[in-house]
Chain A
Amino acid sequence: AQSVTQPDIHITVSEGASLELRCNYSYGATPYLFWYVQSPGQGLQLLLKYFSGDTLVQGIKGFEAEFKRSQSSFNLRKPSVHWSDAAEYFCAVGAPGYSSASKIIFGSGTRLSIRP
């Protein structure tokens, strides 16, 4: 079974600074990988996803993530954060070959605060 770890519970960065949110996974093969964002009082919105191919994935809102097989990581990055990026970010890992949302495991989330 797959698992996912987000080591940072809470991160604070200054507006305009760069951002990197960490995600580590455990799976026997290359999993499906996702990053979601949840703003207060809202559901989750997909930022980007990786299934195969180019290991650098571009997403919405200026985010990107890089799949590193050797490190079992899928870190989320943004070169310059905006105050509106303050939210909770979830990394998720899915099992290829399974046709079910039940095979998608979500990390515990990283709460991002933006310092003015």
Chain B
Amino acid sequence: KAGVTQTPRYLIKTRGQQVTLSCSPISGHRSVSWYQQTPGQGLQFLFEYFSETQRNKGNFPGRFSGRQFSNSRSEMNVSTLELGDSALYLCASSQGLAAQETQYFGPGTRLLVL
């Protein structure tokens, strides 16, 4: 079974631009979560989607948004990029929503904002 894939793997943007990141979960997985990983803040939860509905959102500004499609693929969007948005964005999929579900992580998208 193919793992979680994320595209693109690397991205360079300038302040004020917007960016869209994509995540394809493992086949059969209905839950997708997004995380931001930075050296200073570590791994921080962004949002969680299940059956095309956002179930939870972390403490991030409204510039961060996402969605999930009927095939469980998910996208996240960051508008009006700031330097502080430079990070590794990780996507994880699981079969269900429960906290004990094993999450399978993708390799991440490394975003650099100049």
Q: Interface of A with B (CB < 8 Å)?
A: 32, 36, 41-46, 49, 51, 90, 94-104, 106-109
B99 and A100: CB pair below 8 A?
A: yes
Q: List residues 80-114 of chain B with CB under 8 A from any CB of chain A.
A: 90, 92, 94, 96-108
A101 and B31: CB pair below 8 A?
A: yes
Q: How far is the CA of A43 from the CA of B58 in the complex (A)?
A: 20
Task: Indicate whether B55 reaches chain A with its CB closer than 8 angstroms.
Answer: yes
**Which 8 pairs show the lowest CB-CB distances between chains A and B?**
A43-B105, A102-B56, A106-B43, A101-B33, A94-B99, A44-B105, A99-B97, A99-B98
**Given A100-B48, A106-B42, A108-B42 in contact, is the A44-B99 Cβ separation under 8 Å?**
no
B42 and A101: CB pair below 8 A?
A: no
Q: How far is the CA of A96 from the CA of B99 in the complex (A)?
A: 7
Residue from B4, B45, B55, B99 with most neighbouring chain A CB atoms (10 Å): B99
- The number of chain B residues touching the other chain, given as a range, is 20 to 34
Would you give 23 A-B contacts (Cβ < 8 Å), ordered by A? A32-B99, A36-B105, A42-B107, A43-B92, A43-B105, A43-B106, A44-B105, A45-B105, A46-B102, A46-B103, A46-B104, A49-B100, A51-B100, A94-B99, A94-B100, A99-B97, A99-B99, A100-B99, A101-B31, A101-B33, A101-B92, A102-B56, A108-B42
B4 and A95: CB pair below 8 A?
A: no
B108 and A43: CB pair below 8 A?
A: yes
Least Cβ distance of A25 to chain B in Å?
14
**CB closest residue in chain B, given A101:** B33
